Amino acid sequence: MKRALELAALGVRGANPLVGAVVLSADGRILGEGHHRGAGTPHAEPAALAETLRRGNDPRDSTVVVTLEPCNHTGRTAPCTQVLREAGVRRVVYAVHDVHGVAAGGAQHLREAGIECVGGPGAAAARMLNERWTAALAGRRPFVTAKSAQSLDGRVAAPDGSSRWITGDRAREDGHRLRRLADAVLVGSGTLLADDPRLTARQPDAESVPRGRSALRVVMGMTPVPERAAMRGPGFVQLATRDVGAALNTLYEQGVRHLLVEGGPRITSAFLRAGAVDELFSYVAPLILGDGAPAFPDLGAESLTDGLRWIPDDAGGPRLLEFGADVRLHLRPPGPQGS
C-alpha cells in the first residue's frame, strides 16, 4: 500500500482523485503497477494490469492493492470492477471507500463476483492525499486550481499595464498543460477586456492529457462581453455574478468538476478570500518591476499574522519546477482546507 500511495502522488489533481495501484503475485512479487494520470485516462487498476501484461506477467489469481475502492460505473472509461473481473484477479485490498455516489459500491460488486475484498490498510494516508477532492465533491462544487504568473516582487503587470510576457515560453507551455487538465478555465471581465484571451490549450501533451479535450471558457462579471471577443463561440459561458459561491454552484450544475482560475488578480483574490482555492500554481520570473499590479490584491491582511502561509505540495506534481529562468511553485492552502 505504501508503494500504491507513492504512485498515486504522481498523478494529476482535479476532476478525479489521485489513485495508485500495485499488482502482486501469490508469493508477494510486484507484477505491475500504475496510477491515474488525469480525467479520461485509464484508472489506476487498469493501468497497473496493463503494465503487468507488458512485463509478460499473468494477472490471474493476483492481488491488486489500490488506494481507493475500485469504481463501479461507466464514465469516460469502463468500470474498474469489470476490468478486475476479466483479468481474473483473486483479491483486492483498498485503502478507503469511494465517496462518489455513482462510482461507489465496487467492493460489494466484486465480493458478489467471488473476489475477496479487504478495505482499510493505509486509510489515513489515502484520505489525506485526496481530502481537498473529497471536500469539493461533498460540497458539490468543482475542485479549484488557481494559476498566477508574476515577477520576483509579486507583480502581474508593470505600472503602464503591460503584462505580456512576464514568464518565458516554457512556463507558458506548462500553463497550457494546466488548461488541458481542467473542465473549465475562468477569467474576470477585466482580463477579458484588457487582454481578449482565447483561453485555448496549445502544445498538446499526449503523455499526460488525452487529446481532443476542450475546456469550457468562462468569464465572470457583470460587464457585457463584446461580440467579437476571442473567447466567444462554442464552449463559452458568461457568469453574470461577482459571487464566488454562486459561480461555483452554476458551473457544478453544468458538469464542471475541475475549474482553473487563471485571472486576473482581483478574480483570483476573490476565490482566495472565499477559501475556494484547492491548489495554487505560482509561476515566478526573475524580474523586478518595483511597482505595478499586485498578484493577490485586497486579501485584507494587516500584519504578518493575518497572512495565509501556503504549504508546498508534493502530491499531484513536484512542489518546485524550473522552466528555463522561471520557477513554478505548487502549493496547497493552510488550515483545514489543506492540512
80 is in an annotated binding site: yes
* One-letter amino acid of 217: R
71 carries a ligand binding annotation? yes
C-alpha cell at 136: 469539493
142: which 3 cell numbers? Answer: 468543482
Instruction: Establish whether 267 is an annotated binding residue.
Output: yes
- Whether residue 191 is annotated as binding a ligand: the answer is yes
Is 133 a known ligand-binding residue?
no
Residue 335 C-beta-side C-alpha neighbours within 13 Å? 8
Q: What is the dihedral of CA 200, 206, 208, 210, to 10 degrees?
A: 70
45 is catalytic: yes
Rounded to whole angstroms, the Cα distance separating 44 from 4 reads: 9
- Residue 54 marked ligand-binding: no
Residue 191's closest CA among 253, 147, 234, 233? 147
Supply φ then ψ for residue 211, to 5 degrees.
Answer: -70, 155
115 carries a ligand binding annotation: no
58: left (phi over 0), alpha (psi -120 to 50) or beta: beta
165 annotated to a ligand binding site: yes
100 annotated ligand binder? no
Question: Is 228 known as a binding-site position?
Answer: no
Give just the sign of the alpha carbon dihedral 186, 188, 190, 193. Answer: positive
Task: Tally the residues of the chain.
Answer: 339
- Does 268 show up as a binding residue in the annotation? yes
Flag whether 253 is marked binding.
Answer: no
Q: How many CB atoms lie within 10 A of CB 49?
A: 27
Q: Does 149 show up as a binding residue in the annotation?
A: yes
Q: Distance between alpha carbon 330 and the CA centroid of its chain, in Å? A: 11
Q: In the chain, where do the E strands start and end?
A: 20-24, 30-35, 63-68, 91-96, 116-119, 143-150, 155-157, 184-188, 216-220, 236-239, 258-263, 279-284, 293-294, 311-312, 320-323, 326-332
Q: Catalytic residue among 45, 51, 69, 279, which? A: 45
Known binding-site positions for substrate = 163, 179, 202, 262
Residues annotated as binding site? 43, 71, 80, 149, 163, 165, 179, 191, 195, 199, 202, 262, 264-270
Annotated binding-site ranges for Zn(2+)? 43, 71, 80
Annotated binding-site residue numbers for NADP(+) = 149, 165, 191, 195, 199, 264-270
**Annotated active-site positions, please?**
45
